[in-house]
Amino acid sequence: MGRGNWNPSNDMSDLSGKVILVTGGNSGLGRESILALAKQRPGKIYLAARDISKGSWASDLIKKHVPEAPVTVLECDLSSLSSVRNAARKVASESSRLDILMCNAGVVACPKGLSEDGYEIQFATNHLGHALLIKLLLQMLRKTAKLHGNARIVSLTSPGFGFSPKGGIQFNSLHSEQDLGFGGPPKRYGQSKLANILYADELSRRNPQLTCVSIDPGAAKTELFTNQGWLMKTFITITTWMRGEMMWSAEEGAYNQLWAATADIPINGALYKPIGKHFEPTGHLKDAELRQMLWDWTEGELKAYAL
């Protein structure tokens, strides 16, 4: 069953020679994306995973379906900036090009906590780790676009951005566990997903030679969903129904990011809902001052990191 008029089996372009990196590639939408991309004859796919053994298991599973899949497992813990830097260095040392960077990995509504670098754990994982990966691989992406005509950054977000706290992002307390009171976990998750959208928008403005978009995959029955407690599962199910949407399989849930990675993009920097439907920005999404604040804060936090 396809979603709309676009289906990767029929509509995805040939990827011969292209190099792709997918974070969170060991499960859910990331693994489904790699499985679909591998069928289009790419040169190499980096399956980035926090746990190298889980990444290897996923790679073996993918190769059972696509024996010739050129998958390389890459250790990358997005909650650790040193791990992200090591992953970027490995990619830069092994490859001369990077055509698609799919920022797929994420955590949702987890308990309060700090990353090893001292940041609120959801913001560290969902935004800051990906921002460093992008920053360190940006020159390679620019070079690829110049030599081969196109390079893309696809950032996954979710409707959860609507649960962000007052002001959108609480910058002044990101170096803490952030006690945001009632509804703290979804608020912390919401600001990280808002950051994904704003950062992709700003990236596109600063790098017009690249295609940089954010996408909402819709609700899908992935491990990220099934591993939630009953209260969060109920909340996700009800809010999905209230939006007039339905729960998709993990395979179908990956369609929108596959579309963004391979199809013609109407508006660079935009947010797209399934499949390829432009979402008109409202509220914080069109707040240029907040977007600039996020960029400046991120650059400041990452200034010490280089390849």
Return the SS3 of 152.
Answer: strand
**Is 189 one of the annotated active-site residues of the chain?**
yes
What are the structure tokens assigned to 98, written together? Answer: 């990077």
Please tell me which residue in 189, 199, 255, 272 is annotated as part of the active site.
189
What are the structure tokens assigned to 173, written together? Answer: 């307390």
DSSP structure class, residue 126: I
214 vs 212: CA distance, rounded Å: 7
End-to-end alpha-carbon separation of the chain, Å? 43
* Nearest Cα residue to 211 out of 227, 200, 221: 200
> Which residue is it, tokens 């403005």?
205
2 vs 123: CA distance, rounded Å: 33
Q: How crowded is the C-beta side of 13, counted as CA atoms within 13 Å?
A: 10
The answer to whether 22 and 48 have CB atoms below 8 angstroms apart is yes
Q: What is the per-residue DSSP string for 33-58?
A: HHHHHHTT-BSEEEEEESSHHHHHHH
- Give the catalytic positions in this structure: 189
